[in-house]
Amino acid sequence: MTVSTISGAVASPRRRMPRRIDIMSHAAGILVALLFLAPIAWAVLATFKSRSEAAQPPLPPWPTEGISLDNFRTLENFGAGILHHTLNSLIVAIATTALTILVSVLAGYGFSRYRFPLKGFFFVLVLATMMVPFQSILTPLFLILAELKLQNTLVGLVLIYVTLQLPFSVFMMRNAFDAVPPEIAEAARIDGVTGLRLLIHVLGPLVMPGIVSVGLIAFLNAWNEFLAALVLLTSQDNYTLPVLLTAVRAGHYGSIDWGAVQAGVTIMMIPCLILFLALQRHYIRGLTAGAVK
Amino acid sequence: MSYATLFGGLFLAAAAVTSQAGAETISLWARSDDSTFMPKLVDAFNKSHETRVELQIVPVNELVQKYAIASAGGSAPDALSLDLIYTPAFASSGQLEDLTDLAKSLPYFSSLSPAHLSVGTFEGKIYGMPFSADASVLLWNKDLFKKAGLDPEKGPTTWAEIRADAEKVRALGADTYGYYFSGNCGGCNIFTFTPLIWASGGDIFSDGGKKATLDTPQMRDAIAFYQGMVKDRFVPAGARTDTGTNFFAAFATGKIGITPSGSFAIGALNGQYPNLHYGVTYLPGKTGGTSSFAGGDNFVVSKGTKKLGAIKEFLEYAYSLEGQTLLARNGSLPVRGDIAKQALADLDARYLIAADAMAKGRTPYSVVFNDLINSANGPWNTTLSKVLFADAGAIEPSLKEGDAAMQSIIDAAR
Amino acid sequence: MTANRDIVPSRRRPRRQWIGLLYIAPAIALVVAFFAVPLVMTAWMSLHNWPLIGRRRWIGFGNYLTLWNDHGFWNALQFTVFYTIAATIGLLAVGLALALFVERPRPGVNLYRTAFFLPVVVGFASASLLWAWLSNVDSGLFSPLAQLLGLTAAPYDLNADFTPAFWSVTLMVVWKMSGFYMVILMSGLQAVPADYHEAARIDGATWLQRFRYITLPLIRRPLALALILAVTGSMLAFDQFYIILAGGPQNQTVTAVYWIFNQSFVSFRLGYGAALSMVLLGILLILSLVQLRLLRSGEDGR
C-alpha cells in the first residue's frame, strides 16, 4: 500500500445509508446522547438554585424560585480565590499535557520501531506504573520530591502526573506507530528521511489522533487530580482547583452542601469541554493531513 | 562604594534579620470544618501581634494522611487543630509535644473544657489543649410543631415525648417526617446517639476505653426507640443509607420535625436558612436527664518545635475574651467556661443551651477511636446500621457480635 | 506484524538497535524516579510494623503472614474481581458501540461525540458525588423519577441493598468512562483503511462479517489497551464505593483498595497497607501479563 491509496481511501465518498436506517440511527443516537447528558444537565441546573431549593429533590431540574448565585459565592470564600487556583490548575495541566506528549511519543516510537535489549522488561515496567494503588506510594513520593528539592512545587507535581500518564500514553503511542503501514516509513527512508526527522515530518502527522487522545486524557487527569496535589503541596497558594473543591464539599460529619458541589463540578468541567470541542476536528484532520503528506 | 556604606548596609541587614527573628512565624493546620472561624481568628491575631500564624485549611478527610506524610518528610506544621477524638491516638504515638507545663501556667486552666482535656491527656500528661467546641443537641422545627398542634416553644425532654411529637409531625403529610438521623454514619451517631445512652446511665466503653460495653440494657432500649420510629416511618427512607451527606441538609429542608445535631448547625441555619424557625434543646435520656457529646478540636503541637513561646502567645489570644467571642460568633462554642457567657452575650440565646450542654458534655476515650467508631466499616457503624433498620429480634445477637468485634480491635491495639 | 517491522531497521543497521533505548530513556527515567524507587520503598515499609504516625519496628515478613489470614482482604478482593468483570464488560461493550457509532464523519457526529465524552471530563470524585446526590432517595432524582414513571409506589432506596446499589455504581462508571474507551477505540477504528471495508462490501460481506473479520482484528491493539486499562482501573476501584456507598450495605462493597486505605489511614497501619499493596500489585501484574500474552498469541496466529 502506498501513501496515495491512503489519501484516496479517506477522501473516497462514503456510501449513502438508506434514509430510514439513517433516521432510526439518529433517533437512537439522540436518545443515548440525552441519557449521557442528563446527569450533567441536572448538576449544572442545580448550580443556579438557591440554597433551600438545592436541598429539595431536583424535579423539575431547573430553578423555580429564581436564579441564584449563592453556590458560586460559597466557592469564592475558600482559599486564595477561584482565579488564583484555576491558574495553578491550568499551569499544571498544560505542562503535564506537553511533557506527556513529548515523552510518550518518543517512547512509543522507540518501542514500536526499534529492537533493543530488555525491551519487554521496560515495557512492562512502564505499564506496571498503573498497577499500584496510588495511596500506598504517596509517602515515598513525598520523600523523593523532598530529596530532589521539588517538594511543594508545581514542577514536582507535573513530573508525577506525567509518570502516572505514561502507561496509557506509551501504550497508546506504540499502537499508533505500529498501525502506520510500514511502507510509508520505507518510502521515506528511501528518500533519506530517517530518525527524528522521520518521526516529526512523516510519522508525526500520521499518529495525530493518538497524540490528541494522549494529550486530552493527560490534561483531564491532571486537571481533576486532587490527592497528590493536596498531600504533596504544602503551601495553600500552590493548591490546584480540585483541592479547593474538596475543602468546600467537606462539611461537618461528612454533610455535603450539594449546591456548592454542583457549582464546583460545573466550573471544573468548562475548560475540559472547551478543550474537547477544540480538539475534535484534529482527530479527523490529523488523519487526513497525514495521508495527504 | 565605600567600606563605610558597605558595612553600614551589612549592619542594617543584620538588624533587619534580628528583628525578623523576633517576629516568629508558626505554621498551623486546621480541618476544613473549622473554615468558618479559623481564618478569622488567625487574621485578627496577625493584625494585633508581631508573631505570625500561617494557616492552612486541609480537607477533613485527608488531614491525618497529610499530616502523617508531612511529618515523615520532616515538614510537619508547628501546630495542628485536631479533631479531639484523635488526640489519644496521636499522643500515644509519641508524635506530640508535652504541653502540661504550658497548660498549668494559664491562670484560667481550671475553667478550660474538661471533656477536651480528658481526651487531651495521655498517661498523665497533657498533649491537647481545648481549642474549638461543638456540642450535640436536639433541634426541632417550630413551624411544623405549630402546624401539628404542638407547643412550638417546648422541645421534647424524654424519648417518649420525642416519639409522640414525631408522630404528630409525621401526620402532617406524605413528605413531612417526624425524625431524622444519618443511619450509615458512625461519626454522626457517636455524636448524637451515644448521649441518649449516657443520659440514661449507660456507656459504650468502660475502664478507660479498654473494654467495649456495647451490649447493655440502655443501648438495647435506645436502639428499640430508634428502630420503632424507623418501622413506623417517622424517619425518611434515605436515613438508612445516609453516610452523613444529609446530616445537616435534611433538617434544613424544613420537612423534618426533630433531629439530633450539633451546635455548628445554629450558625449554619441562621446564616443559610434564615426563614427556618427552630428550637434547640438537650439530648434527653429515656425518662429524663440530659447529655451531650463534647466535640470540636484540640490544639496539639508537633514534637520538637522550638516555637513554644509563640504558640503560647497564640493560644492565650484564642483564650482571651476577644478570641472566645470571635470563635463564638463564627460557629464554635467557647472552650473557657468562666467567660463563656460573656463571649456569647450578644448572640442568639440558643447558643447558651448548646454551651451548657457542652460544659456537661462527655467525650469517649480510645486510642483506636477511628477504627472502632468513625470508620464506615468499623464495628460501631456496621452494628448500628444493621440493628436500627432490622427486626427487633436481630438486636441482641447483632449487639453481641458488635461488642466482640470492638473488643478484638481494642485488644489488638494493646 | 510487530516482529516484521522491528526486524526491518535492525537487519539493515544493527547498531541502530541501541538508539531505541535513547528514545525510551525519558520515559524510563520518570518511571524509575517516580514509580520504581517509591515501589522499592513501599516494599521496605511492608517489612515493618510502620504506624501512620510514630515509631516503626522491623518485623520481617510478619505483615505477609497476617495477610494470609486476613479474611477481610480476601473478601474485598473477591468482590473487586466480581466488580471488575461487570465493569469491564460494560465499559468495552458500550465504548465499542459508541466508537462504531461516531467513527466516520456524518451530519451531527461531533455533537454525538461531545455528548458521549462529556461525562469523562468530570473528575471521578465529582462524578461519584454527583451520583451520590442523584441516587439519594430523599434529595436525589432517581427515586422521585421512578415514582413519577409509576415504577414504584413508595420511595425506593437504591443504596439499601447490595444488588441495586452495586449495579447503580457500575452504571455510573459505565456512564462516566465509556466515552474514554470510545476515544481510544475510535482512534484505532480510524486507522483501519476504509477501502478494506469497501472491498469487502463489494465482495458481499455483511456488516457483522466485516466487523468480525476486518474491524476486530485491526483494532486488536487498541482493544487490548482498553481491556488492560479497564481491568486495572476496576481492580483499583475505590472512590465510587467510598463516596457513594461507604462500602455498604453491611461492608459488602468494600474493594481491595478500600481495604488497603482503611488499614493504612483509618487503622493507621501503614506497613500492613504497604504489604497489601505489594500483593495487589503482584496480582495485577500477572493479570496484565496474561492479557498481553493472549494478545500476542492472537497476533501470531493471524
Please give the single-letter amino acid code of residue B399: L
Assess if residue A249 is contained within a domain. yes
Is the CB of residue C202 less than 8 Å away from at least one CB of chain A? no
Domain assignment of residue C239, given as a range? 71-301
Widest pairwise Cα distance in chain C = 75
Quick one: pLDDT at residue C178? 95
Q: Which tops the pLDDT comparison, B138 or C11?
A: B138
Instruction: Give the span between the Cα atoms of B54 and A44, in whole angstroms.
Output: 35
Contact C54 B93 (CB under 8 A): yes
Assess if residue C81 is contained within a domain. yes
Please give the single-letter amino acid code of residue A235: S
Using CA coordinates, name the residue in chain C closest to A104: C27
What is the sign of the dihedral through the CA atoms of A179, A183, A187 and A193? positive
DSSP label at residue B34 = G
Of C28, C42, C236, the CB nearest to A122: C28
Please give the single-letter amino acid code of residue B53: V
How far, CA to CA in Å, does A283 sit from each of A14, A209, B59, C33?
18, 5, 39, 33
Nearest CA-CA distance, residue B233 and chain A, Å: 19
Assess if residue A101 is contained within a domain. yes
Q: What is the CATH number of the domain that holds A171?
A: 1.10.3720.10
Please give the single-letter amino acid code of residue B351: Y
CB B280 within 8 A of CB B258: no
Query: Residue B369 pLDDT more than 50?
Result: yes
Contacts of B94 in chain C (CB under 8 A): 54-55
Quick one: pLDDT at residue C5? 42
Instruction: Give the span between the Cα atoms of C171 and C186, in whole angstroms.
Output: 22
The total domain count for chain C is 1
Mean confidence (pLDDT) of chain A: 82
Torsion over CA of A218, A222, A225 and A230, rounded to 10 degrees?
A: 150
Please give the single-letter amino acid code of residue B290: T
Is the CB of residue B141 less than 8 Å away from at least one CB of chain C? no
Instruction: Give the span between the Cα atoms of A72 and B310, in whole angstroms.
Output: 37
Mean confidence (pLDDT) of chain C: 86
CB C209 within 8 A of CB C200: yes
Mean confidence (pLDDT) of chain B: 90
Neighbours of chain A (3+ CB pairs under 8 A): B, C
In this predicted model, what pLDDT tens digit does every residue of B342-364 receive, in sequence order? 999 888 889 999 999 998 899 99
What is the sign of the dihedral through the CA atoms of B382, B387, B389 and B394? positive
CB C125 within 8 A of CB C239: yes
Q: What is the mean pLDDT of residues A79-97?
A: 87
Query: Residue B9 pLDDT more than 60?
Result: no
Architecture of domain B136-293+366-413: 3-Layer(aba) Sandwich (3.40)
In this predicted model, what pLDDT tens digit does every residue of B56-112 receive, in sequence order? 888 888 888 888 888 888 888 999 999 999 999 999 888 899 999 999 999 999 999
In this predicted model, what pLDDT tens digit does every residue of C85-125 receive, in sequence order? 999 999 999 999 999 998 877 788 888 988 999 999 888 88
Q: What is the mean pLDDT of residues C23-36?
A: 95
Query: Residue C12 pLDDT more than 60?
Result: no
CB A273 within 8 A of CB C121: yes
Phi/psi-derived region of residue B221, left when phi > 0, alpha when psi is between -120 and 50, beta in every other case: alpha
Pairing of strands B25-31, B79-83: parallel
Tell me the helix, strand and coil percentages in chain A, rounded to 5: 80, 0, 20
**C235-271: burial string, b at 16+ Cβ within 10 Å, e else:** bbbbbbbbbbbbbbbebbbbbbbbbbbbbbbbbbbbb
User: Other CB atoms closer than 10 Å to residue B40's CB: what's the count?
Assistant: 15
CA angle at C25 for the pair C22 and C30, rounded to the nearest 5°: 170
Assess if residue A203 is contained within a domain. yes
Instruction: Give the span between the Cα atoms of B87 and B93, in whole angstroms.
Output: 10
CB A262 within 8 A of CB A268: no
Q: What is the mean pLDDT of residues A150-157?
A: 90
Query: Residue A223 pLDDT more than 90?
Result: yes
Is the CB of residue C148 less than 8 Å away from at least one CB of chain B? no
Cell of B62: 485527608
CB B96 within 8 A of CB B127: yes
Quick one: pLDDT at residue A284? 61
Instruction: Give the span between the Cα atoms of B304 and B78, in whole angstroms.
Output: 9
Please give the single-letter amino acid code of residue C41: M
Instruction: Give the span between the Cα atoms of A68 and A62, in whole angstroms.
Output: 11
Query: Residue B18 pLDDT more than 80?
Result: no
CA angle at C43 for the pair C37 and C44, rounded to the nearest 5°: 90
Place of cell 499493596: C277
Highest mean pLDDT: which range of A140-154, B21-35, B281-295, C2-16:
B281-295
Is the CB of residue C38 less than 8 Å away from at least one CB of chain B? no
Using CA coordinates, name the residue in chain A closest to C26: A103
Domain boundaries, chain B: 3-134+294-359, 136-293+366-413
Q: Which tops the pLDDT comparison, B1 or B132?
A: B132
Query: Helix or strand or coil: residue A102?
Result: helix
- Name which of B27, B80, B247, B374 to mutate to probe chain A: the one with the most chain A Cβ atoms within 10 A of its Cβ: B247
Assess if residue C242 is contained within a domain. yes
Quick one: pLDDT at residue C300? 45
Please give the single-letter amino acid code of residue C285: L
In this predicted model, what pLDDT tens digit does every residue of B305-318 receive, in sequence order? 889 999 999 999 99
Contacts of A249 in chain C (CB under 8 A): 129
Going by pLDDT thresholds of 50, 70 and 90, the confidence category of residue B268 is confident
Percent of chain A, pLDDT > 70? Answer: 88
Query: Residue A287 pLDDT more than 80?
Result: no
Query: Helix or strand or coil: residue B108?
Result: coil
Place of cell 406524605: B174
Assess if residue A141 is contained within a domain. yes
Contacts of C168 in chain B (CB under 8 A): none
* Strands, E assignment, B123-265: 125-126, 129-141, 177-179, 205-206, 211-212, 256-262
Q: Which tops the pLDDT comparison, B15 or B395?
A: B395
Assess if residue A33 is contained within a domain. no
Query: Residue C8 pLDDT more than 60?
Result: no
Quick one: pLDDT at residue A173? 92
Assess if residue A202 is contained within a domain. yes
Highest mean pLDDT: which range of A240-254, B181-195, C105-119:
B181-195
Please give the single-letter amino acid code of residue A89: S
Quick one: pLDDT at residue A117? 87
Q: In terms of pTM, does the model score above 0.90?
A: no
Q: Is B410 exposed, middle or buried (0-12, 13-18, 19+ CB in 10 A)?
A: buried
Contact C281 A132 (CB under 8 A): yes
Q: What is the mean pLDDT of residues A205-229?
A: 89
How far, CA to CA in Å, does B273 sit from each of B110, B169, B252, B323?
37, 20, 7, 26
CB C167 within 8 A of CB C240: no
How far, CA to CA in Å, does A79 sit from each of A72, A86, A227, B58, B59?
14, 11, 17, 10, 12
Q: Which tops the pLDDT comparison, C134 or A76?
A: C134
Assess if residue A34 is contained within a domain. no
CB C37 within 8 A of CB C246: no
Helical H segments across B246-299, by residue range:
249-252, 264-272
How far, CA to CA in Å, does B55 sit from each of A79, A237, B21, B310, C53?
11, 11, 19, 14, 22
Q: Is B22 exposed, middle or buried (0-12, 13-18, 19+ CB in 10 A)?
A: exposed
Instruction: Give the span between the Cα atoms of C222 and A175, in whole angstroms.
Output: 7
Domain assignment of residue A203, given as a range? 3-13+72-292
Which of A131, A138, A136 has its CA nearest to residue A228?
Answer: A138
CB B138 within 8 A of CB B258: yes
The total domain count for chain A is 1
Which of A47, C161, B239, B250 has its CA nearest to residue C169?
Answer: C161
Q: What is the mean pLDDT of residues A274-279?
A: 83
How far, CA to CA in Å, does B383 sit from each of A254, B90, B403, C249?
19, 26, 9, 11
Going by pLDDT thresholds of 50, 70 and 90, the confidence category of residue A34 is very high
Query: Helix or strand or coil: residue B141?
Result: strand
Say which CATH superfamily domain B3-134+294-359 falls into.
Periplasmic binding protein-like II (3.40.190.10)
Query: Residue B197 pLDDT more than 50?
Result: yes
Pairing of strands B121-122, B125-126: antiparallel
Quick one: pLDDT at residue B389? 92
Percent of chain C, pLDDT > 70? Answer: 91
Cell of B111: 475553667
User: Other CB atoms closer than 10 Å to residue A40's CB: what's the count?
Assistant: 22
B3-134+294-359 and B136-293+366-413 in the same fold: yes
Of A261, A269, A287, the CB nearest to C121: A269
Q: What is the mean pLDDT of residues B226-250?
A: 92
Please give the single-letter amino acid code of residue C299: E
Of A15, A107, A172, the CB nearest to C24: A107
Q: What is the CATH number of the domain that holds C206?
A: 1.10.3720.10
What is the sign of the dihedral through the CA atoms of C38, C44, C49 and C50? negative
Element (H, E) at B294: strand B294-301
Contact B59 A243 (CB under 8 A): yes
Using CA coordinates, name the residue in chain C closest to B376: C246
Going by pLDDT thresholds of 50, 70 and 90, the confidence category of residue A289 is very low
Contacts of B92 in chain C (CB under 8 A): 54
Of A9, A182, A276, the CB nearest to C121: A276
Is the CB of residue C282 less than 8 Å away from at least one CB of chain B? no
Going by pLDDT thresholds of 50, 70 and 90, the confidence category of residue C224 is confident
Q: DSSP of A203-245, one letter per residue?
A: IHHHTHHHHHHHHHHHHHHHHH--HHHHHH--SGGG--HHHHH
Query: Helix or strand or coil: residue A46?
Result: helix
